Amino acid sequence: MLNIIFAAAGPATYQWSPKCALVMISCNILAYAIARATIRQPNEGFEMPNSRFFGGLSHGAFVGANCLGHLLGIGSILGLAARGVL
């Protein structure tokens, strides 16, 4: 009985589309800019291959920026989908 109530109260999932990808890509680019501006030593540690394409970020900074970008992207996609924009 309780499972049925929780299943009915859950939000609908959003299907992938090019708009969704554009939002995620823009959030990741924003996260790279935030990481480059706020990480004290962004090039400490293992270097990325051809690091000039990654803004000079090290491996750890790049992974951290990707994590932040995906968190921003998930929130943006769910928020925009709830408002009916996507």
* Residue 72, domain member (yes or no): yes
Radius of gyration of the chain (CA): 17
- Structural domain including 77 reads 20-40+51-86
* Residue 24, domain member (yes or no): yes
**Stated pTM of the model:** 0.74
Domain count, the chain: 1
Residue-level pLDDT at 8: 59
* Residue 3, domain member (yes or no): no
Total residue count of the chain as it appears in this document? 86
Between CA 80 and CA 86 the distance in angstroms is 6
* Residue 7, domain member (yes or no): no
* Residue 4, domain member (yes or no): no
Residue 76: pLDDT band (50, 70, 90) is very high
* Residue 15, domain member (yes or no): no
Burial level of 86, CB count in 10 A (0-12/13-18/19+)? middle
For the segment 7-66, what is each residue's pLDDT rounded down to a tens digit?
A: 555 566 677 889 899 999 999 999 988 988 887 876 676 666 776 666 677 778 888 889
